[in-house]
Amino acid sequence: MQHDDVVWAIINKTHCSHKVTTKTQHFCRNEFNLTGLCSRASCPLANSKYATIREENGIIYLYMKTAERVMFPAKQWEKVKLSRNFEKAIYQINENLLYWPAFIKAKCKQRFVKITQYLIRMRKLKLRRVKELVPIQRKIERRERRREEKALVAARIDNAIEKQLLDRLKKGTYNDIYNFPQMAFDAALKAEEISSESEKEDEEEEEEIEREMEPELERELERTVEQTDEFVEADSDMDTDEESDSGKKEDAYVASDFESETSDIEDIAKKTAQKKKPRVEIEYETEPIASLSRKKIKH
């Protein structure tokens, strides 16, 4: 059996590992202490019937100890989970501590209110945007900056040496090269291959564009040829009518509109001929004998 008075007399007068003494007051560091003070009513070791409230990972629990379970340390404390609703939690405390001392009831409710308040503050702080202060490591930054500068200088020197060697190789200053870095040689070959491939691609694109333009140019040429044929036939008719009996041609007046139209057609034909590489030659013949025979028959 546990004797509470004997335990308190030993703790109070002799040594207790949980006690903290100051000039004004004595405090208790036991995790199950209800008030945090070292006194007869609030000591969890000197009271066989004791209750307290604790918070674990945001959840509040009611711990109760009775004299029947004192002899079993593993089963000494009964744990009851309290509701998140404030009114329901107070009702649970009143129901579980129905016949307990009024001091323990009041202190349990007071501790429950304090824990709920600081949990609410914690949730609000988590939802807010909090500025995080990050220390600046100036020594490491300086070291990294120096290394970067040195690496850049070394890279520039290597690139300059490589360019110089490649220029000498192209010019043929060294007939037989020995101990030439294979990596740089391979990189130069790859660069030349890429440039040649890009040139080939450009030529193929130009050929495709020319192939696409060829049918359009042929159509334009056919149209211009048809138009010129029509105008040539008209000129031949006019020439045959104006010829005299002796077979000589006479001067005929041609309107300015006709000249402008023919000149426009000639300009179009020249432009199309300049665009397309192959040339088209048109040959036509007039038949003055037939026109003369027709005139004689009419007379």
Q: What is the pLDDT of residues 286-296, one digit of tens each?
A: 655 544 445 44
pLDDT of residue 12: 85
pLDDT surpassing 90 at residue 284: no
Q: How far apart are CA 215 and CA 218, in angstroms?
A: 5
Q: pLDDT value at position 278?
A: 59
**Among 13-27, 99-113, 177-191, 284-298, where is mean pLDDT lowest?**
284-298
Q: In which band, very low, low, confident or very high, does the pLDDT at 82 lie, cut at 50, 70 and 90?
A: very high
Q: Report pLDDT for 73.
A: 83
Range of lowest pLDDT (66-75, 152-161, 276-285): 276-285
Measured between alpha carbons, how far is 55 from 118 in angstroms, rounded to an integer?
11
The one-character DSSP state at 34 is S
Torsion of CA 109, 27, 70, 81, to 10 degrees: 30
Among the listed residues 134, 135, 146, 80, the one whose alpha carbon sits nearest the alpha carbon of residue 108: 80
Query: How much is the average pLDDT of 214-224?
Result: 76
Confidence (pLDDT) at 221: 76
Closest listed residue to residue 35, CA positions, set 21, 49, 55, 51: 51
Cα 51 to Cα 33: distance, rounded to the nearest angstrom: 9
What is the model's pLDDT at position 259? 47
Distance (Å, whole) CA 183 – CA 298? 96
User: Of 252 and 41, which is predicted with more confidence?
Assistant: 41
Lowest mean pLDDT among 5-9, 205-209, 246-250, 275-279: 246-250
Confidence of residue 164 (pLDDT cuts 50, 70, 90): confident
Nearest CA to 104 out of 63, 61, 68, 155 is that of 63
**Torsions phi, psi for 32 (to 5 deg):** -95, 5
pLDDT, position 87:
92
Is the per-residue pLDDT at 108 higher than 90?
yes
pLDDT at 72: 85
pLDDT at 268 over 60: no
Of 298, 297, 286, 292, nearest in space to 246 by CA? 292
Check pLDDT > 80 for residue 111. Answer: yes
pLDDT in tens, 41-77: 888 888 888 999 999 988 999 999 988 888 888 888 9
| Confidence class for position 211, pLDDT limits 50, 70, 90 | confident
237 vs 195, higher pLDDT: 195
pLDDT of residue 255: 47
